[in-house]
Amino acid sequence: MHEDYLTITVPIFNIQSYSIHDGPGIRVTVFVKGCPLRCLWCCNPESNLATPQLMTYISKCTGCGMCIGSCPQKAISLKIDGDKAHAATDRELCVDCGKCVAACPAEARELAGKTMTVEEVLKKILKDKLFIEGSGGGMTVSGGECLMHPDFTEALLYASKREGVHTAVESCSFAGREVVDRVYKYVDLALLDIKHMDSNVHKKLTGVPNELILDNIKHIYHDLKVPVYIRIPTVPGYNDSEENIAATAKFAAEQLGSDVQVHLLPYHRLGESKNESLGKKMNMSIEVPSDEHMQKLKALVEQFGLVAQIGG
Ligand code: SF4
Ligand code: SF4
């Protein structure tokens, strides 16, 4: 690790304290911006780009118009809906500079993504060290995709381990072997997504095929000896067929080991409102899966001799 690793920066869109879904115990989860995949159902669309992105919240907008003059691009205008006015942003003109955020008294505008150093993020993690240690928790780097920022991720994991903090990563494993080897030196637990076992379908759903992903997962488990939990974002109509869940469980049981847990993460609709805030439309409408269906899929995974759970 080079000397000035604490000064390495990355765009962060959230640091969540008291997180209980991203590994064991109470954790601090660090969400970095930028992802090489474009999952159709993405629940964190503000993480897609590795640059800041403007988010707007119409429900908070009072129509005061104070943001209009602050925009150097002249991207903001007032729209009237019935008897209510609100600010509308022309996304073709907007360059995500964030100048309108400070001008808005109603917090109806926000810039997702703040550049932070390893040292700044580490300070936030260590603030909760007592709770982390008392609960058998740690820190988790999530995203976005942390492997897109290997310098930062490696340095933050290294710095956390030096402080005695348990480390986990949440990753889609779509990265070159050299990056994987660098980052996983400092990882205690890998939470790895598999979105679909059929590579062609995987490409349609996420934009990339799955061969590299499955290969990296085997490498992380067998060669790097990092404990692995497989996570399946379970999206009705896209990857929640019994056939696909069984194929994923078979991969975990046969290509990895019986100590690999499988976590079925039910689709939720948070991504839909976030897309609206980013001025985008989701090209799909998905219902959340029923409890009954999730229980059935869990039982299916357990038939392969694996520990399965619903949720992270
Ligand atoms: S973020 Fe976009 S809308 Fe806001 S001031 Fe900058 S260019 Fe204008
Ligand atoms: S400053 Fe805020 S509240 Fe006022 S019009 Fe702009 S977005 Fe709406």
List of residues 6+ apart from 292 with CB closer than 8 A: none
Instruction: Quote the pLDDT of residue 282.
Output: 76
Return the residue whose CA atom lies nearest to atom 3 of ligand 2: 61
List of residues 6+ apart from 2 with CB closer than 8 A: none
Cβ–Cβ < 8 Å for 230, 252 = yes
Instruction: Quote the pLDDT of residue 83.
Output: 85
Atom of ligand 2 at shortest distance to CA of 66?
Answer: 1
Ligand with an atom nearest the CA of residue 59: 2
Strands 261-266 and 228-234: parallel
Same fold across 5-49+114-310 and 53-111: no
Instruction: Quote the pLDDT of residue 284.
Output: 74
Instruction: Quote the pLDDT of residue 272.
Output: 86
Atom of ligand 1 at shortest distance to CA of 54?
Answer: 1
Cβ–Cβ < 8 Å for 139, 102 = no
Instruction: Quote the pLDDT of residue 2.
Output: 75
What's the gap in Å between 72 CA and the centre of ligand 1? 7
Instruction: Quote the pLDDT of residue 312.
Output: 84
Instruction: Quote the pLDDT of residue 82.
Output: 85
Give phi and psi for 109, each to the nearest 5.
Answer: -135, 140
Question: CA 136 to CA 288: how far, in whole Å?
Answer: 31
CA angle (115 as vertex; 265, 37 as ends), nearest 5: 35
Dump pLDDT digits (tens) for 210-259: 999 999 999 999 999 999 999 999 999 999 999 999 999 999 999 999 99
Q: Tokens for 219, please give them.
A: 């490498």
What's the gap in Å between 109 CA and the centre of ligand 1? 10
Architecture of domain 5-49+114-310: Alpha-Beta Barrel (3.20)
What's the gap in Å between 85 CA and the centre of ligand 2? 10
pLDDT per 10-residue tile (average), the chain, 312 residues: 90 96 96 96 92 95 97 96 92 97 97 96 97 96 96 98 97 97 98 98 97 98 98 96 98 96 93 90 83 97 97 88
List of residues 6+ apart from 254 with CB closer than 8 A: none
Ligand with an atom nearest the CA of residue 100: 1
Q: Taking each helix axis as running N to C, give the angle between helix 291-302 and helix 242-250, from 0 to 180 degrees, rounded to the nearest 10.
A: 30
The set of long-range contacts for 198-207, using a CB threshold of 8 Å and a minimum separation of 24, is 198/244, 198/247, 201/239, 205/39, 205/40, 205/238, 205/239, 206/37, 206/38, 206/39, 206/40, 206/172, 207/36, 207/37, 207/38, 207/39
Ligand with an atom nearest the CA of residue 84: 2
Instruction: Quote the pLDDT of residue 270.
Output: 84
Note the CATH number of domain 53-111.
3.30.70.20
Cβ–Cβ < 8 Å for 31, 144 = yes
Domains in the chain: boundaries: 5-49+114-310, 53-111
Dump pLDDT digits (tens) for 14-47: 999 999 999 999 999 999 999 999 999 998 999 9
Residue 214: alpha-carbon gap to chain centroid: 19
Instruction: Quote the pLDDT of residue 138.
Output: 98
* Helix/strand/coil for 225: coil
Match 């209009």 to its residue by tokens.
Answer: 68
